[in-house]
Structure 1
């Protein structure tokens, strides 16, 4: 993910096994990370962060 600022606008969404994307939040990166951290492990496995120019899985992002 090219963006590193905690106040950049992101979409946090969950991609289900059936391919359905469910948006959990639109907000800052900091807000999205806080919300994602509160989810259970199974949910975290399907979470993605989307900016205007990138998409990265939540687990890849936090693992660095």
Structure 2
């Protein structure tokens, strides 16, 4: 993810692996999105993505890097 400052505007969404449906959990800052994502159960975290104006990254990939 190219944009990595705490105040970056992001969309946090969950992508359902079965149906392919995307459900937005939050439009906010990266810091807010990371806090909300951390509160989700492990099975939900597996399908979470962070989207900025120029990139998309899986939540688990982002926190592992």
TM bracket (short chain): over 0.9
The runs of 5 or more residues in structure 1 that have no matched partner are none
What SS class does the counterpart of residue 49 from structure 2 fall into?
strand
Tell me the residue number matched to 2:23.
22
Q: Which residue of 1 aligns with 2:13?
A: 13
- 1:32 shift after superposition: 0.1
Which residue does the alignment assign to 2:3?
Answer: 3
**Number of equivalenced pairs:** 64
| 1:31 is aligned to 2:32 | yes
Q: Stretches of 4+ moved more than 6 A in 1?
A: none
Q: Deviations over 1:13-47 (max 9, x none)?
A: 00002100000000000000000000000000000
Q: CA RMSD in A?
A: 0.4
Structure 2 counterpart SS, 1:53: coil
